[in-house]
Structure formats: structure tokens, C-alpha cells
Amino acid sequence: MYIGSTFVEDSFAEAFSMRYTRILVTAHDSHWLEAAVREFSGYASSVIACDLEIGVERRILDEESPDGRPGVALLAFGFSADAIAGALSNRIGQCVMTCATTAVFDGLPLAETRIPLGKHLRFFGDGYQKSKQVGGRRYWRIPVMDGEFLVEDDAGAAKGVAGGNIIIQADSQVAALDAARRAVASVQELPGVILPFPGGVARSGSKVGSRYKKLKASTADAFCPSLRGRVPTRLVDGAQCALEVVMDGVDEKAVGGAMRAAVEAAAGTGVVAVTAGNYGGKLGKFHFPLRRLWDAKTE
């Protein structure tokens, strides 16, 4: 299968079932909002070593903002609701509450599974915190030096899908970078999905296991151009650089749609092939065959 001159391999991405939460962060203006997002989303690319995988889902429209201020919706993925709860409280307490003018709201109010948010953070108020219930939802007002930090009492958690991916193979690093940026831009326009790696791209794709016993993951040697001839390669002829775009989403439809958009956007001059990373289908519950991304069920 080809898209223009780019070959789409008969392979599949292998993704995993994970839990996620959505929080809404608002601030006085874009400067402080971006500062909070940068801090909150730091060290959050892969649960191989990070506590959560986090990214911006989308900007909040003015009419959607819980307090009428600039805001974003953030998605955070973890192995369990309990794992998300612990990491979320730490990250909000250290990275968002510390950022001037911010407030935090639940972005999954209808989810049955609830995890603590302000319920834990309120203790920072040292007894001076106040709670208020509005429309059946409880909020905490925690005194801080620029006024009050407003945070919702709890947040929803739901089942999601993490680890959808495409691997771009190009004839040069410049062509691979350009293709990756096109792919990332196409996915960032879609709801219900995030790209947790730096700039949406992972240069250090991984495989399961290592020759070193203490490591549970190591470099994806089959996609490393410098290892051609030393290991079995998955690079096609003419490929000199490979980059991976990894997607986490709220469900299979979101991930499949993001992969499809990324493949279509990445294809072009200098991109000799697009493939995907998998582990033989033995580890991940969700399989996304590249050549079936255009089936009706992913529409």
C-alpha cells in the first residue's frame, strides 16, 4: 500500500489498556497558563520510568472555561486509578498550585470512578481552607500568597488506550523531522488524544527487555541506522532515519483516528516508509493494523 511515494507497511501498532483522567487548568492569562502546563507535564513521556504520561488535549474555548479564564484540558494516563491519584496530587501541588493565578477543575464529572484532588491538597491550607458546594460539586479554596488557589474536590477516572504509534522512515534526518512535525500537527487538532513525548516525537523507541537484567526496556535496535549489519533490521532500503510518534487516547476510536491522520500527514517527499512498533501481539490488548486504519469502524 502506498500514499503517494510513501510505502505503508503491512504491520500493526500494539497498544495497552490504561486509566486516564482529564483535568482543566485555568489561569489569569496565557503566560501563567503555559508556565503551569510546562511544569505539570514535565517528566511525563512514558510510564516505563515516569509516574504518568501527560499531554495537552486541547485549549478550552472561552464559553467552556469553568471560571471564564484561559484554560487547557490535560489528559494524564497511568496503570491504575490509584497510581494516577497519587501522582496527580503531587504534580498539582508542586507544579500548578505553585504557579501564580491557576485553578484546577475536574474534566470527567460523569465518570463513576473518582480520585482525590483538592481532597488531599486542601491540607496545605493549614486549617484556613474553605469548601463550597456548587451544583453538586465540591470545591476548595486554599489561601496562597496571591489570593486563593481554587481546586475541585475530586476528579473522574476512566479506561483509555495508550501506546498507539507510527514509525516514520525517511531518507534523511531533515525529511524525518519535517514528516514528524506534520504528523504531530495533524494529531494535535483531534480531541481525546495526546502525544506525551517531547514535541510529540520519540527518537529513542524501545523494545521489551535488555541484555542488562535490571532494565525492562532498551533501544529498538531494529530501527537504529547505525546498527545495520549488526542486528536484524526493520529499516527499509533507503531509510537513514526513523522517528516514532506515540499516541494515548480516551478510546480505540481516538487512537485509530490519530494514527490515520498521522500516517496521511507524514507521507511525502523523503519519507520512504511508515510502519509501527509492536511486540508480536503478545503484550498489548489493542492492535491497530496500519492498512486498516481507513476502515469504517475507525471513522
Which pLDDT score is estimated for 298? 44
pLDDT bracket for residue 299 (50, 70, 90): very low
C-alpha grid cell for residue 28?
489569569
Mean pLDDT of 53-70: 95
* CATH code at 19-158: 3.30.70.520
271-275 and 6-8 beta bridge pairing = parallel
pLDDT of 270 above 90: yes
3-state secondary structure of 261: helix
Report the distance separating Cα 34 and Cα 95, nearest Å: 12
Element (H, E) at 82: helix 81-91
Mean pLDDT of 151-172: 97
Burial class (CB in 10 A: 0-12, 13-18, 19+), 289: middle
pLDDT of 46 above 80: yes
Domain(s) labelled CATH 3.30.70.520 in the chain stretch across 2-15+161-298, 19-158
Q: Residue holding cell 504528523?
A: 183
pLDDT bracket for residue 297 (50, 70, 90): very low
pLDDT of 13 above 80: yes
Element (H, E) at 181: helix 173-188
| % of the chain with per-residue pLDDT over 90 | 92
pLDDT of 78 above 50: yes
* CATH code at 2-15+161-298: 3.30.70.520
